[in-house]
Amino acid sequence: MIDIKFLRENPDVVKENIKKKFQEHKLGLVDEVIELDDKRRATQQEADDLRAKMNQISKQIGALMAQGQKDEAEKVKAEVAEIKQRIKDLEPVEKELNDKVTEIMMKIPNIIDPSVPIGPDDSCNVEIQKYGDPVVPDFEIPYHTEIMERFDGIDMDAAGKVAGNGFYYLMGDIARLHSAVLSYARDFMIDRGFTYCIPPYMIRSNVVTGVMSFEEMDAMMYKIEGEDLYLIGTSEHSMIGKFIDTLNDEEKLPYTLTSYSPCFRKEKGAHGIEERGVYRIHQFEKQEMIVVCKPEEAMHWYDQLWQNTVDLFRSLDVPVRTLECCSGDLADLKVKSCDVEAWSPRQQKYFEVGSCSNLGDAQARRLKIRVKDKDGNKYFANTLNNTVVAPPRMLIAFLENNLNADGSINIPEVLRPYMGGKEKLVPKN
C-alpha cells in the first residue's frame, strides 16, 4: 500500500505506474480515492473543530453557574449537547470513509523500481545470469516421480486416498534426502548470519491482508472454518507478521531471519503435464529468509538474498539462473522481484525454484511496522523475502542433476553429513 499523501500529490505518477503494470481497469481508483480522501479529511476536520469548540465552551458552564447566570449556562449546555450529537453523527461517516479509502488503497499497486522491465506477463521476464553449466546427459532421465519410485520413495496413490490430489507420501532415502536438504539450508543460512526461527503455521486475517493482496489471498489461502485463522502459504507471512504494530529502534536494524515451516496452498486452476507429481502441490515444506531494514538498505539486501539461493543450489551441483520479473508479473505489493530457476536436464530448460522480492514499505505500512531513529523521527521499515529452498520441488532439480546412468544418485559433499555420510543412493528397483 502506497502513501496516501504521495498519491494525493502525485496522481499522474500513480496512474502511470498502474499502466506499467497493465492494470488499466484500476486507473479510476486513483480519482475515486482522492475524492473520498477529500471528504474524509473534511469530515475529520469538522469533527476535530467541533471537539475543540466543545472543550472550550464547556469550561464556561461552571463559571456562568458560579456567577448565578443559570439561563446563560443552560444555553451553553444546550449548545454542547448539539455539538455532541453532531460529533456522534459524524463518527460513523468518518469510519465509513476511512474504510473505503483503505479498501481502495489496498487495491492500488505499489510503485515499481525504475529498473523493472516493462511487460504484461511472465513471457517478458528477462534472464539476468546463469550459474553453472546446464548439462544434458547421454542417457534418458525419467520423470521425477519415476526416479523416486525406484527408491520406494513416494506413494501418491495412498496419499490421494487419504487427502486427495496434490498430496504425497515421501519415504525411505527420498524422505531422508528431503529432510537433509532442509537441514542443510537451515545451517547454510545460519552460517550467513541469519537468526533461525520456527513461526506459527496459522495467522489471523489482519496479518493475511497485511502481507498480500486480496487476489493472492483468495488464490492461495486455506481458511480455518469458524475461526479467524488461515494456514500459511509460506513462513514469510507469519515472519513479517511478527513485527505487526511495532516501533523498532533504528540501531537494531536490519533484522535478518531464516524460518522453517510447512506451507499450504490451494493452487487453483488446471496445470500442465510438467506440474504433475510433486511440482505443484497443496502441502510442502520450505526454508525462507526475510529482512526488515531501513529503506536505503533494501536494494543491498535484495541482492544478498537472491545470491544466497544461487550459492546454495550451486553447492548442491545444481545449475541455476536468475530471471528479472517484468512489471506485469509483479504482485501488487512488490517493488522489484526476481526468480531463481534450476536446470532440468530432462526438460532441457529451467524452472522456478525460488522467488526473491523487495516490497518497499508496502507490508510495513499495512502492518504498522515502524522505525525510530536516534533523533526520534519515525518512518516505515522496508521488508524483503526470498526462498532458501522448497522441497519437494527442489528435489526434482536435485535428482535430475545428480542422477547417474545406473539409476544411482550422487550426494554432494556438503549434504553427506545430513545423510549419514552416504556418498550415493542406490535404487531398490
Both 81 and 135 in one domain: the answer is no
Residue with cell 472550550: 56
Both 131 and 100 in one domain: the answer is no
d(CA 107, CA 113): 18
Residue 348's pLDDT is what? Answer: 96
Both 35 and 182 in one domain: the answer is no
* Mean pLDDT within 420-426: 96
- Beta bridge partners of residue 357, listed in sequence order: 337, 385
Kindly report, residue by residue over 161-170, the tens digit of the pLDDT. Answer: 999 888 999 9
d(CA 307, CA 50): 57
Checking if the pLDDT of 271 tops 70, the result is no
Both 163 and 70 in one domain: the answer is no
52, 76, 105 - which closes a domain: 105
Both 285 and 373 in one domain: the answer is yes
Instruction: Please provide the DSSP assignment of 346-394 as one string.
Output: TTTEEEEEEEEEE-TTHHHHHHTEEEE-TTS-EEE-EEEEEEEE-TTHH
Residue 273's pLDDT is what? Answer: 42
Q: Is residue 284 within 8 Å of 391, Cβ to Cβ?
A: yes
Both 238 and 156 in one domain: the answer is yes
Does residue 309 fall inside a structural domain?
yes
Both 82 and 229 in one domain: the answer is no
Residue 286's pLDDT is what? Answer: 95
The model carries a pTM of 0.90
Alpha helices (H) along 136-225: 144-150, 156-163, 172-191, 205-211, 214-220
Does residue 116 fall inside a structural domain?
no
Residue 80's pLDDT is what? Answer: 85
Q: How confident is the model at residue 268 (pLDDT cuts 50, 70, 90)?
A: low
Does residue 349 fall inside a structural domain?
yes
d(CA 392, CA 1): 33
Kindly report, residue by residue over 274-301, the tens digit of the pLDDT. Answer: 457 888 889 999 999 999 999 999 999 9
Average pLDDT value over all residues in the chain? 93
Residue 215's pLDDT is what? Answer: 76
Instruction: Please report, for the domain that includes residue 369, its CATH number.
Output: 3.30.930.10
Residue 270's pLDDT is what? Answer: 42
Residue with cell 506440474: 275
Q: How confident is the model at residue 102 (pLDDT cuts 50, 70, 90)?
A: very high
Instruction: Look up residue 142 and give its DSSP letter.
Output: P
Write the CA distances from 72 to 65, 79, 277, 288, 338, integer angstroms: 8, 11, 84, 69, 71
* Mean pLDDT within 83-87: 90
Both 168 and 274 in one domain: the answer is yes
Both 128 and 156 in one domain: the answer is yes
Domain that holds residue 26: 4-105
Strands 255-264 and 195-197: parallel
Q: Which of 73-87, 88-102, 222-236, 267-281 has the lowest mean pLDDT?
A: 267-281
Both 282 and 323 in one domain: the answer is yes
Residue with cell 513416494: 154
d(CA 119, CA 58): 61
Both 97 and 131 in one domain: the answer is no
Does residue 25 fall inside a structural domain?
yes
E strands, 265-348, are: 283-293, 320-324, 336-344
Instruction: Please report, for the domain that includes residue 60, its CATH number.
Output: 1.10.287.40
Say how many domains are in the chain: 2
Kindly report, residue by residue over 337-391, the tens digit of the pLDDT. Answer: 999 999 999 999 999 999 999 999 999 999 999 999 999 999 999 999 999 999 8
Closest residue by Cα to residue 176 from 204, 154, 145: 154
d(CA 314, CA 303): 17
Strands 320-324 and 126-131: antiparallel
Please, what is the end-to-end C-alpha distance for the chain in angstroms?
54
Does residue 117 fall inside a structural domain?
no
* Mean pLDDT within 206-216: 86
Residue 147 CB partners (closer than 8 Å, separation 6+): 141, 399, 400, 403, 407, 409
Q: How confident is the model at residue 249 (pLDDT cuts 50, 70, 90)?
A: very high
Q: Is residue 237 within 8 Å of 209, Cβ to Cβ?
A: no
d(CA 380, CA 240): 13
3-state secondary structure of 405: coil
Checking if the pLDDT of 73 tops 90, the result is no
Does residue 340 fall inside a structural domain?
yes
* Mean pLDDT within 416-422: 97
Both 310 and 388 in one domain: the answer is yes
* Mean pLDDT within 403-423: 97
Kindly report, residue by residue over 219-241, the tens digit of the pLDDT. Answer: 889 999 999 999 999 999 999 99
Kindly report, residue by residue over 13-44, the tens digit of the pLDDT. Answer: 999 999 999 999 999 999 999 999 999 999 99
Checking if the pLDDT of 109 tops 50, the result is yes
d(CA 78, CA 54): 11
* Mean pLDDT within 110-133: 96
